[in-house]
Amino acid sequence: MAGVNTMEKKLAEYKCDTNEAICLKLVRFPEDVEDDGITFHPEYSHQSYGDDEVAFGYKGLQIQLFYTAGNLSTLFKVKYSSKVTEAFDCVEPDDIEGKIREIVPAGFTCNTDDFISLLEKEANFKPFGTLLHTYTVHSEEAGELTYQIHKADITCPGFHEYHERLQTFLMWFIETASFIDADDDRWDFFLVFEKYNKDGETLYATVGYMTVYNYYVYPDKTRPRVSQMLILPPFQGEGHGAQLLEAVHRFYCSLPKVQDITAEDPSESYVKLRDYVLVKLCQGLPSFAVDKLPLGFSADMAKEAQDKLKINKKHARRVYEILRLRATDMSDEEKAREYRLEVKKRLFGPYRKNQRELTKMRKCLRPEELVSHMDQMDTQTQHEELEKSYQVVVEDYRRIIERIAAQA
Protein backbone atom coordinates (compact mmCIF):
# COMPACT_ATOMS: atom_id res chain seq x y z
CA MET A 1 0.00 0.00 0.00
CA ALA A 2 2.83 2.38 0.87
CA GLY A 3 4.38 1.66 -2.52
CA VAL A 4 1.12 2.52 -4.27
CA ASN A 5 0.87 5.82 -2.39
CA THR A 6 4.46 6.67 -3.27
CA MET A 7 3.78 5.90 -6.92
CA GLU A 8 0.64 8.11 -6.88
CA LYS A 9 2.61 10.99 -5.39
CA LYS A 10 5.32 10.68 -8.02
CA LEU A 11 2.79 10.53 -10.84
CA ALA A 12 0.95 13.55 -9.36
CA GLU A 13 4.11 15.57 -10.01
CA TYR A 14 3.33 15.20 -13.71
CA LYS A 15 -0.04 16.96 -13.46
CA CYS A 16 -0.32 20.56 -14.65
CA ASP A 17 -3.08 23.15 -14.36
CA THR A 18 -3.86 23.86 -18.03
CA ASN A 19 -5.13 27.38 -17.27
CA GLU A 20 -1.62 28.18 -16.06
CA ALA A 21 0.20 26.11 -18.67
CA ILE A 22 -1.46 27.77 -21.66
CA CYS A 23 0.37 31.03 -22.42
CA LEU A 24 -1.37 33.45 -24.78
CA LYS A 25 0.24 36.51 -26.29
CA LEU A 26 -0.57 39.24 -28.83
CA VAL A 27 2.71 40.18 -30.48
CA ARG A 28 3.49 43.52 -32.14
CA PHE A 29 7.29 43.62 -31.99
CA PRO A 30 9.94 40.84 -32.17
CA GLU A 31 10.99 41.51 -28.57
CA ASP A 32 7.42 40.74 -27.41
CA VAL A 33 8.06 37.04 -28.05
CA GLU A 34 10.38 36.86 -25.03
CA ASP A 35 8.43 39.35 -22.90
CA ASP A 36 6.57 37.40 -20.20
CA GLY A 37 4.97 40.64 -19.02
CA ILE A 38 2.45 40.60 -21.88
CA THR A 39 1.49 36.94 -21.45
CA PHE A 40 -2.08 36.19 -20.41
CA HIS A 41 -3.79 32.93 -19.52
CA PRO A 42 -7.19 31.32 -20.10
CA GLU A 43 -10.06 31.56 -17.66
CA TYR A 44 -11.29 28.19 -18.90
CA SER A 45 -9.71 25.17 -20.57
CA HIS A 46 -12.25 22.47 -19.74
CA GLN A 47 -13.45 22.06 -23.31
CA SER A 48 -10.00 20.78 -24.28
CA TYR A 49 -8.68 19.30 -21.05
CA GLY A 50 -11.74 18.14 -19.12
CA ASP A 51 -13.61 19.51 -16.13
CA ASP A 52 -10.52 19.30 -13.90
CA GLU A 53 -8.58 21.47 -16.38
CA VAL A 54 -5.50 19.32 -15.81
CA ALA A 55 -2.99 17.81 -18.23
CA PHE A 56 -1.08 14.69 -17.18
CA GLY A 57 2.35 13.53 -18.21
CA TYR A 58 4.56 16.60 -18.01
CA LYS A 59 6.54 18.73 -15.58
CA GLY A 60 6.97 22.42 -16.25
CA LEU A 61 4.42 22.30 -19.07
CA GLN A 62 4.03 25.43 -21.18
CA ILE A 63 1.66 25.57 -24.15
CA GLN A 64 2.52 28.68 -26.17
CA LEU A 65 -0.13 30.21 -28.41
CA PHE A 66 1.26 33.49 -29.69
CA TYR A 67 -0.61 35.60 -32.23
CA THR A 68 0.51 38.51 -34.37
CA ALA A 69 -1.46 41.50 -33.07
CA GLY A 70 -3.46 42.23 -36.21
CA ASN A 71 -3.84 39.27 -38.56
CA LEU A 72 -3.56 36.75 -35.69
CA SER A 73 -1.01 34.58 -37.50
CA THR A 74 -0.21 31.89 -34.94
CA LEU A 75 2.83 30.35 -33.26
CA PHE A 76 2.09 27.07 -31.45
CA LYS A 77 4.76 25.41 -29.33
CA VAL A 78 4.74 22.95 -26.43
CA LYS A 79 7.57 23.06 -23.89
CA TYR A 80 8.21 21.02 -20.74
CA SER A 81 11.09 20.17 -18.41
CA SER A 82 10.38 16.42 -18.28
CA LYS A 83 7.91 13.83 -19.52
CA VAL A 84 6.40 10.95 -17.57
CA THR A 85 7.70 8.36 -20.06
CA GLU A 86 11.25 9.30 -19.09
CA ALA A 87 10.65 7.98 -15.55
CA PHE A 88 7.88 5.38 -15.92
CA ASP A 89 7.24 2.65 -18.45
CA CYS A 90 3.71 1.92 -19.65
CA VAL A 91 2.37 5.32 -18.55
CA GLU A 92 1.04 7.43 -21.41
CA PRO A 93 0.98 11.23 -21.23
CA ASP A 94 -2.03 13.20 -22.46
CA ASP A 95 -2.04 14.24 -26.10
CA ILE A 96 -1.45 17.95 -25.47
CA GLU A 97 -0.83 18.91 -29.08
CA GLY A 98 -3.80 16.98 -30.42
CA LYS A 99 -6.20 18.87 -28.14
CA ILE A 100 -4.89 22.24 -29.33
CA ARG A 101 -4.98 21.19 -32.99
CA GLU A 102 -8.72 20.54 -32.58
CA ILE A 103 -9.17 24.25 -31.83
CA VAL A 104 -6.43 26.12 -33.69
CA PRO A 105 -6.95 26.10 -37.47
CA ALA A 106 -4.28 24.83 -39.85
CA GLY A 107 -1.69 27.30 -41.04
CA PHE A 108 0.06 27.99 -37.73
CA THR A 109 3.83 27.74 -37.39
CA CYS A 110 5.87 25.93 -34.74
CA ASN A 111 9.04 27.86 -35.54
CA THR A 112 9.78 31.09 -33.65
CA ASP A 113 11.93 32.58 -36.43
CA ASP A 114 9.18 31.96 -39.00
CA PHE A 115 6.69 33.60 -36.65
CA ILE A 116 8.89 36.68 -36.23
CA SER A 117 9.16 36.97 -40.01
CA LEU A 118 5.34 37.05 -40.15
CA LEU A 119 5.43 40.23 -38.08
CA GLU A 120 6.92 42.03 -41.09
CA LYS A 121 3.69 41.32 -43.00
CA GLU A 122 1.54 42.98 -40.33
CA ALA A 123 1.94 46.31 -42.15
CA ASN A 124 -0.16 44.80 -44.95
CA PHE A 125 -3.02 43.91 -42.59
CA LYS A 126 -6.03 46.24 -42.79
CA PRO A 127 -9.33 45.98 -40.88
CA PHE A 128 -12.09 44.07 -42.66
CA GLY A 129 -15.41 45.51 -43.76
CA THR A 130 -16.96 48.94 -43.28
CA LEU A 131 -15.85 51.50 -40.70
CA LEU A 132 -18.75 52.24 -38.30
CA HIS A 133 -17.18 54.25 -35.51
CA THR A 134 -13.87 55.77 -34.34
CA TYR A 135 -13.11 56.70 -30.74
CA THR A 136 -10.13 57.48 -28.52
CA VAL A 137 -9.06 56.24 -25.08
CA HIS A 138 -6.52 58.04 -22.93
CA SER A 139 -3.63 55.92 -21.69
CA GLU A 140 -1.22 57.06 -18.96
CA GLU A 141 1.65 55.41 -20.81
CA ALA A 142 0.81 56.05 -24.47
CA GLY A 143 -1.43 59.13 -24.41
CA GLU A 144 -4.43 59.19 -26.77
CA LEU A 145 -5.02 55.85 -28.48
CA THR A 146 -7.36 55.56 -31.46
CA TYR A 147 -9.75 52.65 -31.99
CA GLN A 148 -12.03 51.69 -34.87
CA ILE A 149 -15.13 49.51 -35.04
CA HIS A 150 -15.81 47.77 -38.35
CA LYS A 151 -18.70 45.69 -39.63
CA ALA A 152 -17.68 42.70 -41.73
CA ASP A 153 -19.29 39.66 -43.29
CA ILE A 154 -17.99 36.38 -44.58
CA THR A 155 -17.66 37.70 -48.16
CA CYS A 156 -14.76 40.02 -47.18
CA PRO A 157 -11.57 38.60 -48.77
CA GLY A 158 -9.46 36.80 -46.16
CA PHE A 159 -12.03 37.23 -43.41
CA HIS A 160 -13.06 33.58 -43.17
CA GLU A 161 -9.51 32.47 -42.29
CA TYR A 162 -9.01 35.43 -39.95
CA HIS A 163 -12.26 34.64 -38.11
CA GLU A 164 -11.22 31.00 -37.64
CA ARG A 165 -8.13 32.23 -35.80
CA LEU A 166 -10.03 34.89 -33.83
CA GLN A 167 -12.73 32.56 -32.54
CA THR A 168 -10.14 30.28 -30.90
CA PHE A 169 -10.02 32.82 -28.03
CA LEU A 170 -13.66 32.03 -27.20
CA MET A 171 -12.70 28.60 -25.90
CA TRP A 172 -10.42 30.14 -23.28
CA PHE A 173 -12.66 33.00 -22.09
CA ILE A 174 -16.32 32.00 -22.50
CA GLU A 175 -17.35 29.02 -20.39
CA THR A 176 -19.94 27.56 -22.78
CA ALA A 177 -18.36 28.72 -26.04
CA SER A 178 -18.84 26.95 -29.34
CA PHE A 179 -17.74 27.78 -32.86
CA ILE A 180 -20.32 29.09 -35.31
CA ASP A 181 -21.06 28.21 -38.93
CA ALA A 182 -19.61 31.43 -40.32
CA ASP A 183 -20.65 30.50 -43.88
CA ASP A 184 -24.29 31.27 -43.04
CA ASP A 185 -24.85 34.70 -44.60
CA ARG A 186 -27.19 35.77 -41.79
CA TRP A 187 -24.18 36.35 -39.53
CA ASP A 188 -22.85 39.88 -39.02
CA PHE A 189 -19.41 40.44 -37.51
CA PHE A 190 -18.32 43.57 -35.64
CA LEU A 191 -14.61 44.03 -34.96
CA VAL A 192 -12.63 46.43 -32.78
CA PHE A 193 -9.10 47.45 -33.79
CA GLU A 194 -6.46 49.67 -32.22
CA LYS A 195 -4.36 51.88 -34.50
CA TYR A 196 -0.70 51.95 -33.50
CA ASN A 197 2.57 53.17 -34.96
CA LYS A 198 5.53 50.96 -35.86
CA ASP A 199 8.57 52.37 -37.62
CA GLY A 200 6.55 55.30 -38.93
CA GLU A 201 3.74 53.11 -40.32
CA THR A 202 0.17 52.82 -39.05
CA LEU A 203 -0.72 49.27 -38.09
CA TYR A 204 -3.86 47.69 -36.62
CA ALA A 205 -4.20 45.38 -33.61
CA THR A 206 -7.23 43.18 -32.95
CA VAL A 207 -9.00 44.23 -29.73
CA GLY A 208 -12.23 42.22 -29.71
CA TYR A 209 -15.37 41.32 -31.62
CA MET A 210 -19.05 40.47 -31.61
CA THR A 211 -21.11 38.08 -33.72
CA VAL A 212 -24.79 38.77 -34.41
CA TYR A 213 -27.30 36.46 -36.09
CA ASN A 214 -30.22 37.98 -38.00
CA TYR A 215 -33.41 36.03 -37.28
CA TYR A 216 -36.51 36.41 -39.42
CA VAL A 217 -39.60 37.96 -37.81
CA TYR A 218 -42.93 37.58 -39.58
CA PRO A 219 -43.91 39.18 -41.87
CA ASP A 220 -41.01 41.41 -43.00
CA LYS A 221 -38.70 42.17 -40.06
CA THR A 222 -35.46 40.82 -38.63
CA ARG A 223 -34.35 40.38 -35.03
CA PRO A 224 -30.55 40.64 -34.64
CA ARG A 225 -29.42 38.46 -31.75
CA VAL A 226 -26.00 38.90 -30.19
CA SER A 227 -24.38 35.47 -30.04
CA GLN A 228 -20.78 36.03 -28.92
CA MET A 229 -18.87 39.01 -27.59
CA LEU A 230 -15.28 39.11 -26.43
CA ILE A 231 -12.83 41.86 -25.66
CA LEU A 232 -9.37 40.28 -25.50
CA PRO A 233 -7.88 40.37 -21.96
CA PRO A 234 -5.09 42.92 -22.63
CA PHE A 235 -7.80 45.43 -23.56
CA GLN A 236 -10.41 44.68 -20.91
CA GLY A 237 -11.48 47.35 -18.43
CA GLU A 238 -10.90 50.19 -20.91
CA GLY A 239 -14.50 50.69 -22.08
CA HIS A 240 -14.23 48.88 -25.42
CA GLY A 241 -17.19 46.59 -24.70
CA ALA A 242 -19.52 49.55 -24.18
CA GLN A 243 -18.20 51.28 -27.31
CA LEU A 244 -18.73 48.12 -29.35
CA LEU A 245 -22.23 47.41 -28.06
CA GLU A 246 -23.34 51.02 -28.56
CA ALA A 247 -21.95 51.11 -32.11
CA VAL A 248 -23.71 47.84 -32.96
CA HIS A 249 -26.96 49.11 -31.47
CA ARG A 250 -26.79 52.35 -33.44
CA PHE A 251 -26.07 50.41 -36.63
CA TYR A 252 -29.18 48.25 -36.30
CA CYS A 253 -31.29 51.24 -35.25
CA SER A 254 -30.57 52.71 -38.68
CA LEU A 255 -32.15 49.70 -40.42
CA PRO A 256 -35.95 50.04 -40.87
CA LYS A 257 -36.51 46.28 -41.04
CA VAL A 258 -35.06 45.58 -37.60
CA GLN A 259 -37.71 44.72 -34.99
CA ASP A 260 -35.50 44.77 -31.88
CA ILE A 261 -32.08 43.64 -30.70
CA THR A 262 -31.66 40.72 -28.30
CA ALA A 263 -28.90 38.46 -26.98
CA GLU A 264 -28.55 34.69 -26.77
CA ASP A 265 -28.16 33.42 -23.18
CA PRO A 266 -26.56 36.66 -21.98
CA SER A 267 -24.07 36.45 -19.12
CA GLU A 268 -24.45 38.57 -16.01
CA SER A 269 -21.64 40.86 -17.12
CA TYR A 270 -23.24 41.30 -20.55
CA VAL A 271 -26.60 42.25 -18.99
CA LYS A 272 -24.88 44.92 -16.89
CA LEU A 273 -23.05 46.24 -19.94
CA ARG A 274 -26.28 46.30 -21.93
CA ASP A 275 -28.08 48.15 -19.13
CA TYR A 276 -25.36 50.80 -19.14
CA VAL A 277 -25.47 51.28 -22.92
CA LEU A 278 -29.27 51.34 -23.14
CA VAL A 279 -29.55 53.88 -20.30
CA LYS A 280 -27.09 56.11 -22.16
CA LEU A 281 -29.21 55.81 -25.31
CA CYS A 282 -32.61 56.26 -23.61
CA GLN A 283 -31.90 59.03 -21.11
CA GLY A 284 -32.52 61.70 -23.75
CA LEU A 285 -35.88 60.33 -24.95
CA PRO A 286 -38.92 62.52 -24.04
CA SER A 287 -40.90 59.65 -22.54
CA PHE A 288 -38.04 59.00 -20.07
CA ALA A 289 -37.89 62.63 -18.90
CA VAL A 290 -37.35 63.10 -15.15
CA ASP A 291 -40.91 64.35 -14.57
CA LYS A 292 -42.36 61.23 -16.25
CA LEU A 293 -40.41 58.69 -14.19
CA PRO A 294 -42.41 58.91 -10.90
CA LEU A 295 -45.58 58.10 -12.86
CA GLY A 296 -44.41 54.56 -13.52
CA PHE A 297 -43.35 52.55 -16.55
CA SER A 298 -45.64 53.59 -19.38
CA ALA A 299 -46.73 52.37 -22.79
CA ASP A 300 -45.14 55.54 -24.22
CA MET A 301 -41.76 54.51 -22.82
CA ALA A 302 -42.04 51.03 -24.28
CA LYS A 303 -43.16 52.37 -27.67
CA GLU A 304 -40.53 55.10 -27.96
CA ALA A 305 -37.72 52.74 -26.93
CA GLN A 306 -38.97 50.21 -29.47
CA ASP A 307 -39.54 52.65 -32.34
CA LYS A 308 -36.44 54.80 -31.96
CA LEU A 309 -33.86 52.44 -30.46
CA LYS A 310 -35.12 48.90 -31.23
CA ILE A 311 -35.25 48.12 -27.51
CA ASN A 312 -37.84 45.57 -26.44
CA LYS A 313 -40.27 46.13 -23.56
CA LYS A 314 -38.36 43.97 -21.06
CA HIS A 315 -35.12 45.89 -21.55
CA ALA A 316 -36.90 49.25 -21.63
CA ARG A 317 -38.42 48.43 -18.24
CA ARG A 318 -34.94 47.95 -16.72
CA VAL A 319 -33.82 51.26 -18.24
CA TYR A 320 -36.82 52.97 -16.64
CA GLU A 321 -35.96 51.49 -13.23
CA ILE A 322 -32.36 52.71 -13.45
CA LEU A 323 -33.35 56.22 -14.54
CA ARG A 324 -36.05 56.39 -11.87
CA LEU A 325 -33.53 55.37 -9.20
CA ARG A 326 -31.23 58.16 -10.39
CA ALA A 327 -34.09 60.66 -10.14
CA THR A 328 -35.37 59.44 -6.74
CA ASP A 329 -34.34 60.89 -3.39
CA MET A 330 -33.89 57.59 -1.55
CA SER A 331 -33.51 59.42 1.77
CA ASP A 332 -37.21 60.33 1.45
CA GLU A 333 -38.94 57.31 3.01
CA GLU A 334 -42.13 57.60 0.98
CA LYS A 335 -40.33 58.01 -2.36
CA ALA A 336 -37.95 55.19 -1.51
CA ARG A 337 -40.91 52.95 -0.60
CA GLU A 338 -42.69 53.74 -3.88
CA TYR A 339 -39.55 52.91 -5.83
CA ARG A 340 -38.97 49.68 -3.92
CA LEU A 341 -42.53 48.49 -4.54
CA GLU A 342 -42.26 49.38 -8.23
CA VAL A 343 -39.13 47.25 -8.71
CA LYS A 344 -40.42 44.40 -6.54
CA LYS A 345 -43.60 44.31 -8.59
CA ARG A 346 -41.51 43.26 -11.58
CA LEU A 347 -39.31 40.92 -9.57
CA PHE A 348 -42.37 39.23 -8.08
CA GLY A 349 -43.34 37.84 -11.52
CA PRO A 350 -41.62 34.44 -11.08
CA TYR A 351 -43.12 34.04 -7.58
CA ARG A 352 -46.59 34.83 -8.92
CA LYS A 353 -46.04 32.15 -11.53
CA ASN A 354 -45.19 29.70 -8.74
CA GLN A 355 -48.49 30.53 -7.04
CA ARG A 356 -50.39 29.77 -10.26
CA GLU A 357 -48.52 26.46 -10.54
CA LEU A 358 -49.39 25.65 -6.93
CA THR A 359 -53.09 26.24 -7.64
CA LYS A 360 -52.88 23.73 -10.51
CA MET A 361 -51.03 21.25 -8.31
CA ARG A 362 -53.80 21.26 -5.70
CA LYS A 363 -56.03 19.61 -8.27
CA CYS A 364 -53.72 16.77 -9.29
CA LEU A 365 -51.18 16.02 -6.52
CA ARG A 366 -51.58 13.70 -3.56
CA PRO A 367 -51.51 15.48 -0.15
CA GLU A 368 -47.93 14.40 0.69
CA GLU A 369 -46.69 15.59 -2.75
CA LEU A 370 -48.48 18.90 -2.34
CA VAL A 371 -46.86 19.50 1.06
CA SER A 372 -43.36 19.08 -0.40
CA HIS A 373 -44.10 21.62 -3.14
CA MET A 374 -45.70 24.04 -0.70
CA ASP A 375 -42.52 23.88 1.40
CA GLN A 376 -40.55 25.01 -1.63
CA MET A 377 -42.85 27.99 -2.09
CA ASP A 378 -43.07 29.15 1.54
CA THR A 379 -44.36 32.75 1.64
CA GLN A 380 -41.82 33.94 4.19
CA THR A 381 -38.99 32.54 2.07
CA GLN A 382 -40.43 34.24 -0.99
CA HIS A 383 -40.41 37.62 0.75
CA GLU A 384 -36.82 37.12 1.92
CA GLU A 385 -35.66 36.08 -1.54
CA LEU A 386 -37.52 39.01 -3.09
CA GLU A 387 -35.78 41.45 -0.75
CA LYS A 388 -32.38 39.89 -1.57
CA SER A 389 -33.09 40.17 -5.30
CA TYR A 390 -34.14 43.79 -4.87
CA GLN A 391 -30.94 44.70 -3.01
CA VAL A 392 -28.76 43.03 -5.67
CA VAL A 393 -30.63 44.80 -8.49
CA VAL A 394 -30.39 48.21 -6.83
CA GLU A 395 -26.67 47.73 -6.18
CA ASP A 396 -26.14 46.93 -9.87
CA TYR A 397 -28.24 49.94 -10.86
CA ARG A 398 -26.19 52.24 -8.62
CA ARG A 399 -22.97 51.12 -10.28
CA ILE A 400 -24.41 51.92 -13.69
CA ILE A 401 -25.55 55.36 -12.50
CA GLU A 402 -22.08 56.04 -11.08
CA ARG A 403 -20.42 54.97 -14.32
CA ILE A 404 -22.64 57.26 -16.39
CA ALA A 405 -21.97 60.14 -13.99
CA ALA A 406 -18.23 59.54 -14.32
CA GLN A 407 -18.49 59.74 -18.13
CA ALA A 408 -20.45 63.01 -18.06
How many alpha carbons lie under 13 Å from residue 1 in its C-beta half-sphere? Answer: 0
Note the pLDDT tens digit of each residue in 74-86.
999 999 999 887 7
The stretches in the chain having pLDDT less than 50 are 1-2, 370, 374
pLDDT for residue 89: 72
Q: Which of 9, 5, 1, 2 is nearest to 87 (CA)?
A: 9
Helical ranges in 286-378 per DSSP H: 299-309, 313-327, 333-347, 349-364, 367-376
pLDDT for residue 354: 56
Q: Which H or E element spans position 56? A: strand 54-56
Confidence (pTM): 0.91
CA distance 19 to 53: 7
Note the pLDDT tens digit of each residue in 233-274.
999 999 999 999 999 999 999 999 999 999 999 999 999 999
User: Catalytic residues, which ones?
Assistant: 264
Phi/psi at 121 (nearest 5 deg)? -85, -5
Q: Which residues share a beta bridge with 316?
A: none
pLDDT for residue 143: 84
pLDDT for residue 2: 46
DSSP letters, 226-285, are: EEEEEE-GGGTTSSHHHHHHHHHHHHHHT-TTB---EESS--HHHHHHHHHHHHHHHTTS
pLDDT for residue 367: 54
pLDDT for residue 280: 97
Quick one: three-class SS letters along 214-229?
Answer: EEEECCCEEEEEEEEE
